[in-house]
Structure 1
């Protein structure tokens, strides 16, 4: 059975603090360089959804609870 992981980042609430990007052991999160949210921040974004192992470090570190991790067994 394959695991499917979906990481959702609420870009509008993200303040670009980069705590999630620092916490990611796979280094597949980054701050968007060409996108600004409604507050004027560069939000976090996932670079490789398939490489994510759903460890949850990013969601745990996010002080604004902007990251949701969903795991499905398929």
Structure 2
């Protein structure tokens, strides 16, 4: 998984869908606890550019750091 989604934080504003350069983000068919249709990411289309992370006003997206990168950053 390139980008993780905190679906409980999504308020269905659509900014991430509009700004994704690869059209890898769409609304899911489920409802979150707040009654919104949270977004989902198509991992095959996603290039982990970070646009969704940057544009989202609610902190829905996060890009996990690999163990290799953690070890390099600590060196």
Q: TM-score, normalised by structure 2?
A: 0.79
Structure with greater strand percent: 1
Structure 1 residue 50, shift from structure 2 partner:
2.6
Q: Show structure 1 runs of 5+ residues with no match.
A: none
Runs of 4+ in 1 over 3 A off after TM superposition: none
Distance 2:19 2:53 in 1: 9
Residue number among 3, 7, 13 corresponding to 1:7 in the alignment: 3
Structure 1 residue 52, shift from structure 2 partner:
1.4
Q: Show structure 2 runs of 5+ residues with no match.
A: 69-75
Aligned to 1:54: 48
Structure (1 or 2) with the larger CA radius of gyration? 2
Q: How many residues align?
A: 67
Residue number among 19, 32, 39 corresponding to 2:15 in the alignment: 19
